Chain A
Amino acid sequence: MVGVLTTAPATRTAPVTGVRALWAPAAVAAGAALSCAVIWWGDPTTPGGPLPVCPTKLLLGIDCPGCGSLRMIYSLLHADLGAALRFNAVALVTLPLLAWAWVTWTRGRWRGRRVESWQHRRWAPMIALVITVAWWVVRNIPVEPFTHLRV
């Protein structure tokens, strides 16, 4: 009994810290920059462009929680905050949250231990789920004033 109960957990190898640990945040930053370049090039706000419409919208004709995100980012890149808000307000609000998560993640990897952030709070996953589903439903309600949320 004593042996079982006092067994220490398996130790893990020490993590890579410092500059060598930053490849993953750097890759994410590079991917985001590349995505912004593609969105700038593709101009999703003009119909008929090279960037494809979301398959959800194409097949089902409904707005998904992420619909309008490309146009939102395009508008943001062109400093048009009003249009960005109009295309996908929830996605716009998540951008600073995601940026903050990226910053704390990077600092955590640099230091070799987790840096607390909003996504580590206990109810964060459930709140995110509720907001996502609510946003999905609300922007598809086919009556005024919700029809203004369609993009």
Chain B
Amino acid sequence: MSHYPDPIPYEQYGPYGYGGYGAGGYGQPYPRPPQPPSNLAWAIATTVLCCWPLSIVAIIAATKVERAWLLGDYAEARRQSDRARNWSIASAAVVVVLYGAVVALGLAGVFDEGSR
């Protein structure tokens, strides 16, 4: 799902340093998969600008991404990354729908003088 390719910089090699489990005579290093994004900026943006109850869930998920990744639970890191993204999207969607409806009504003249 990541937009970016999988470069394998040194810090992303196995949990026990360069080579990790796979080094030591077997030839191939054993790289970690890349750390998924925490999507934190989206979570923060939607907390202050959109629907905070959904965005708080996103921020909490964002806090769990790196920890899971560092512990080697890459599937969980990916899952929390996706949760952070999806709850942020939900938060933004609530506001877009709510305020989009308001603007549509406004353009339709519902808020004009005399119609209240």
Interface residues in B, total, Cβ within 8 A: 42
Interface flag for A114 (CB, 8 Å): yes
Once the chains bind, are A128 and B26 in contact (CB under 8 Å)? no
Once the chains bind, are A91 and B52 in contact (CB under 8 Å)? no
Q: Are A101 and B41 CB-contacts (below 8 A) given A6-B26, A50-B106, A125-B62?
A: yes
Chain A nearest CB from B106 CB (Å) reads 5
Interface flag for B68 (CB, 8 Å): no
Residues of A within 8 A of B59 (CB): 125, 128-129, 132
Chain B binding surface SS class: helix
Interface flag for B66 (CB, 8 Å): yes
Interface flag for A124 (CB, 8 Å): yes
**Interchain residue pairs A-B with the least CB separation, the first 6:** A101-B41, A91-B48, A6-B28, A125-B63, A125-B62, A119-B40
- Pairs A–B under 8 Å by Cβ, sample size 29: A2-B26, A5-B22, A5-B30, A6-B26, A6-B28, A9-B31, A12-B2, A12-B6, A38-B99, A49-B111, A50-B102, A50-B105, A52-B98, A52-B99, A56-B52, A56-B53, A65-B48, A66-B48, A66-B50, A90-B48, A91-B48, A91-B49, A98-B44, A119-B38, A125-B38, A125-B40, A125-B59, A132-B44, A136-B52
